[in-house]
């Protein structure tokens, strides 16, 4: 999942980026509205965290231009505590939520999770595939109800696969979903992450299928059947 933060306060931007990275998100930060607008016109994200008081282009103009491109990207606006008029204008222009500064990071994380879920169709917080499950709120994966020890990248790979169960996911799509602006992640690296994840979930009977040249998907899960019991000899 990719998040763009448009915030010119270095301390706040760095804190948000660090917190959201620890939750498993790929996070890009831009310090002025013109940069944010240009990137939003060319890149795909799952959420925009938008400060309204940006230099070079105000946050409200960034939002207006985003919606003018018919983008349905969820937007969380950050405003000064006393800027009621700006909050109202932001919501009228198509923002999905707002937070007044200062705010608690734990509340922001909760709102981010809710908006991201809404952006992918309001999906459930628990994704399941046979004995495999992923808690998108707690950012934990389980196999046969036992916690899986996964790296942040492996967790991201698993989340994308579970969200697209039954559909192929290309290496390029993984890169788009999981990597930050300017981050160099090769197709070979994606292969390594998938290989490591595969080894950790195969013990539970869950398989990742490779379709050469096209991508990966989770094998359709079929509940195992009980073998017929032998009848005692007469």
How confident is the model over 52-72, as pLDDT tens digits? 889 999 999 999 999 998 888
Instruction: Give the per-residue pLDDT at 81.
Output: 61
Q: Taking a C-beta distance cutoff of 8 angstroms, is the pair 202, 146 a contact?
A: no
Q: How confident is the model at residue 30 (pLDDT cuts 50, 70, 90)?
A: very high
Instruction: Give the per-residue pLDDT at 43.
Output: 84
Instruction: Give the per-residue pLDDT at 124.
Output: 55
CA 203 centroid distance within chain: 26
The answer to pTM > 0.75 is: no
Residue 152 pLDDT > 90 = no
Which of 4 and 229 is assigned the larger pLDDT? 4
Q: At what angle do helices 84-92 and 59-68 cross, to 10 degrees?
A: 10
Q: Which of 64-68, 129-133, 213-217, 225-229 has the lowest mean pLDDT?
A: 225-229
Provide the CB-side half-sphere exposure for 44 (13 A, CA): 11
User: What confidence tens digit (pLDDT) does each residue in 125-138 have?
Assistant: 678 898 998 887 67
Q: How confident is the model at residue 122 (pLDDT cuts 50, 70, 90)?
A: very low
Rounded CA-CA distance 155/194 in Å is 10
**All domains in the chain, ordered by first residue:** 2-119 (3.40.50.2300), 126-218 (1.10.10.10)
Q: Encoding tokens for residue 159?
A: 């989340």
The mean pLDDT value of the chain amounts to 84
Which residues, at least 6 apart from 69, have a Cβ–Cβ distance to it below 8 Å? 41
Q: Encoding tokens for residue 39?
A: 């990137």
Q: Taking a C-beta distance cutoff of 8 angstroms, is the pair 101, 78 a contact?
A: yes
Q: Encoding tokens for residue 124?
A: 């459930």
Q: How confident is the model at residue 172 (pLDDT cuts 50, 70, 90)?
A: confident
């Amino acid at each position: 999942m990719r998040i763009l933060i448009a915030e010119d306060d270095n301390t706040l931007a760095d804190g948000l980026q660090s917190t959201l990275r620890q939750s498993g998100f790929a996070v890009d930060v831009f310090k002025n509205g013109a940069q944010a607008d240009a990137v939003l016109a060319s890149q795909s994200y799952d959420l925009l965290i938008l400060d309204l008081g940006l230099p070079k282009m105000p946050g409200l103009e960034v939002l207006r231009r985003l919606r003018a491109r018919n983008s349905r990207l969820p937007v969380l606006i950050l405003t000064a505590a006393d800027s009621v008029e700006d909050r109202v204008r932001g919501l009228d222009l198509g923002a999905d939520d707002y937070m007044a500064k200062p705010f608690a990071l734990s509340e922001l994380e909760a709102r981010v999770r809710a908006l991201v879920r809404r952006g992918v169709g309001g999906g459930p917080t628990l994704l399941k595939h046979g004995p495999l499950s992923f808690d998108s709120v707690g950012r934990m994966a389980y196999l046969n109800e036992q916690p899986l020890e996964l790296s942040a990248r492996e967790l991201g790979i698993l989340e994308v696969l579970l969200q697209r169960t039954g559909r192929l996911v290309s290496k390029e799509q993984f890169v788009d979903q999981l990597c930050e602006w300017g981050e160099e992640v090769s197709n070979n690296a994606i292969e390594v992450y998938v290989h490591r994840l595969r080894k950790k979930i195969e013990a539970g009977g869950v398989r990742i299928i490779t379709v050469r040249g096209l991508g990966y998907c989770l094998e359709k899960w079929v509940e195992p059947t009980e073998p017929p019991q032998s009848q005692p000899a007469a």
